[in-house]
Each structure stands twice: as C-alpha cells, then as structure tokens.
Structure 1
C-alpha cells in the first residue's frame, strides 16, 4: 500500500512539474560549496514584482504549507519557488515585522534575546523600496524606516556589510538544515538558499559571503526549513509554516 501511495505521489508531482517547468526552469539550481550541497534560487531586479509574501489565505486562516498556498494563486499564475520566510509563534504569527502587499502582521523587534532571532544583529529583508532588494540590520531599519513593498524580519544576520556574524564559530556543533536570503552589494540580485543537509551557521554564512558574494544576508530558520521548487522536482512537507516567501509568474 505504501509503495502504491508513493508511486501515485510521484506521478502527481511529475505532472505538476511538467505543467510549470517552462516558466520557472532557470530560477533554482543545485550547487555545491565547500563540501556542502545547497539549492539556490536567484531573482534579478526585473523579477522583484513577482516576489510575494504569504501568511493567511482569503479565509483569514494561516496557509501553513505550499499546497494550500498554490490553491490561492490566480488563473495562469505559476509558483516558481517558495520557502519559509522567518520565525513564528505557536499560532503561526510572525515573531517580528511582516509586511506584504495586502497584509501586515507583527512589529519590528530590536532587542536581544537568547534565541536565534534575538542573536543581534538581526535584520529585515525588504523589497521594492529604494533598491529592489535589501537586507537591513533591524536597528538601522527602525531608524531609517525605509519604504518596503514586502518585509520580513528574522535573525540572526548571516552576513553584515561583507562580514560574517561575529558570534558564528568555525567549530560549532549546532547543525541544522537552514535557509535564508542574501543580497548583492548593488541590491539588484537576491539569492534564496537552503542546505541539503545540516550545516552550521558559519558554513551557511560562508555560502553567502564567499560562495555568492552577498554583501548582506539574513537567516530565515533551521530544522523547519522547507522548499518548493518544481523545476527540481521538489515539494517539501513537514511541520506547518508561518510566513512563506515565493516567486510567481503568469503564463
């Protein structure tokens, strides 16, 4: 019975991939860096309008997974990729700031705490403002109050002005599957990455700083990290998610 179910799921995913592949084939790729495997989804400035943040569906209930998200898309819309986009409370509310085109939830948090979110400096990923993509340290964000079409806060920062977070340890034994976002120095490119296997903060930060040459990068989460990338035959499932970020195109 289990074998039949797996076969049916595989056929269903395969049919989905065949449907959406032409529009999104070049966004996500597998890449190795320093002995670790990652999936990296790259967006240019021209693609920024297609980037979206989701939390709740039209009924006001949290979406929680990629399948529910896809059901909210309009006619002809294709989901190129999606991943979890920040930490959340037990009721799925964002821990920090969350701003989308149609919804605002959570407030900017600038204080330190003992968890990853409060491992200062933390930051905000902001799109559609003065530059297409920005990762801004949270206290600087509070001071500048930049315009953002989308904004999601998380922590810690992985890369700050070209330097790794000062608390990352080369020999750390804290390893998780991790995901996050990095931005080029000119703000014209954003890289969304997830590790294939458990990695340390130091390893993940080096992917952005040394592998992608990101000027700034922000950690989204670990252990709950999930990716939807149809061109790679991937649709992760598991724990329900809070904020989700993703890219859509219209066929």
Structure 2
C-alpha cells in the first residue's frame, strides 16, 4: 500500500511538472472570419494561460482541395503581398523563410521547381516544408530531407515546434515575438497560423491544444520567420477578410493555391 501511495504521489508530481512547463492554455470561442475557396476557412481565436493572453489567427485547409506554393519576392522585382497573392491565384498566405539584411534567403528555398537558395546546415534551420514532385506536402526534419532534386516547393526554417503531437522540450521561453507557423496533422489537414507576441515555448504549447486549428490535432508544426516579418492575408471572393501586415518587406511567402479540378 505504501509503495502504491509513493507511486501515485510521484505520478501526480510528474504530471504537475509537465503541466506547469507547458502552461495551461484555455481556448476561447473560435470566430470564423471567412469561408474561402477550396473549402478553406479563415478564423481567429483567443487563448489564455492565467494572466497571459494570446490572439491566434489562421487559415485551415485540406490538401485534397489546395496546396502550398512558395512565392518569391526578390528586391529587384518586389510586389506588394496582396498583389502577389492575387497574381498567383492564391486564397491566403503568410510570410515564409528567414532572410539576410540584403534580402538573400536563409536556407533552402524552392519555388515552382526552381531552387532560389540552396540547403543549409544550421541549428536554427531544423525543418523543411516541402512539396514533392508528385504533389504531396510534408513537414520533415532537415536531417531527414534527403536529396532536394525534384522538389516542387520548399522552405527551410525552424525551430521545430511540435513533433508527434508534442511541443519541443528545449524551445526558448524568454523572448517574446509575433510568430508565423505552418502546421499539419499528417493526414491531409493543414494550417497557416500567426500568433500575437509569445515565446517559442508558449507557441509550441498552444499548438498542442486539441482543436486549435479545427476538428483535428496538430502533429507537426514548424516555426517560420516571425517578429516584424509576420504577416497573413486571407481572401474571400478576391477581397481580404484578414490582412495583418509585416513591418517591412519580406523575401518570400507561403500561399494557399486551390487545386485544379
């Protein structure tokens, strides 16, 4: 009996540590802000963890109906985000990869089969969003990507926020910034999501809350460039229903494109 009691106390303590380290995020009511083409939905939701408040805005969609494309936006041919989306026939998009002060991309960037920048090995660049030649989308560890030949689209970024439904254990818990994220359940449901200023640890914890992005649970999520670069536009019948701007130009975007029927 004493042994069982010690085991129970130990288990409860462990559970308390896990809950404390990840926070106790509670989601408010989801507000649908737009029904987009290809069955995509734009939404906004508030979350609270004690006195901490977060506003999360996103667009969720099925890979059966839409895909993600990298829209390059070099300095010598720079186009406004909204015009870039409309020109590509996109229904929504967010900022994508990190870039240098001269706007050279950081890490692998592939757009419509063209390699804009080569793969890099760096601790920060721990993951890749990729569209394979046959059209399937995936989030994969940089170390597991393999050959980049034949990729249709790709953005290398990081850090990895969620893997196998669990938040990363070593995410920074101090620096606050706006966040941009691409996430999936690994079964065809995807979301582009931006967060009001949070730490990476808070963002990872929030992403593991069931039904954050819809009636499914996020299994994998990759952090994209955030802070001043964070931006999201969603279009319903060609008009913005969400338009959250970056504080300056960015090099490229991830855009949701309806699949041809």
Q: TM-score, normalised by structure 1?
A: 0.73
1:33 aligns with 2:32: no
Q: How does 1:148-227 map to 2 (within 5 A)?
A: 148-169=151-172, 172-186=173-187, 188-195=188-195, 197-211=196-210, 212=212, 213-223=217-227, 224-227=229-232
How far, CA to CA, are the matches of 1:88 and 1:44 in structure 2? Answer: 29
Residue from 121, 126, 130 that aligns with 1:126: 130
Tell me what 1:66 maps to: 81
May I ask how many residue pairs the two structures share in their alignment?
213
How far, CA to CA, are the matches of 1:146 and 1:205 in structure 2? Answer: 31
Residue 54 of structure 1 deviates from its aligned partner by 0.9
How far, CA to CA, are the matches of 1:151 and 1:229 in structure 2? Answer: 21
Tell me what 2:29 maps to: none
Mind listing any 5+ residue stretches in structure 1 that lack a counterpart? 1-19
Structure in which a larger fraction of residues adopt strand: 2
Larger radius of gyration: 2
State whether residues 108 and 117 of structure 2, in contact with CA within 8 Å, keep that contact through their aligned partners in structure 1. yes
Distance 1:131 1:189, change over 3 A: farther
Alignment partner of 1:177: what SS?
A: strand
Mind listing any 5+ residue stretches in structure 2 that lack a counterpart? 1-33
Comparing both chains, which one has the higher relative contact order based on Cα–Cα distances under 8 Å and sequence gaps of 6 or more? Answer: 1
Distance 1:159 1:129, change over 3 A: farther
Distance 1:240 1:64, change over 3 A: farther
How far, CA to CA, are the matches of 2:242 and 2:122 in structure 1? Answer: 40
Residue from 103, 115, 132 that aligns with 2:114: 103
Distance 1:100 1:180, change over 3 A: same
How far, CA to CA, are the matches of 1:174 and 1:63 in structure 2? Answer: 30
- In angstroms, what is the RMSD of aligned CA positions? 3.0
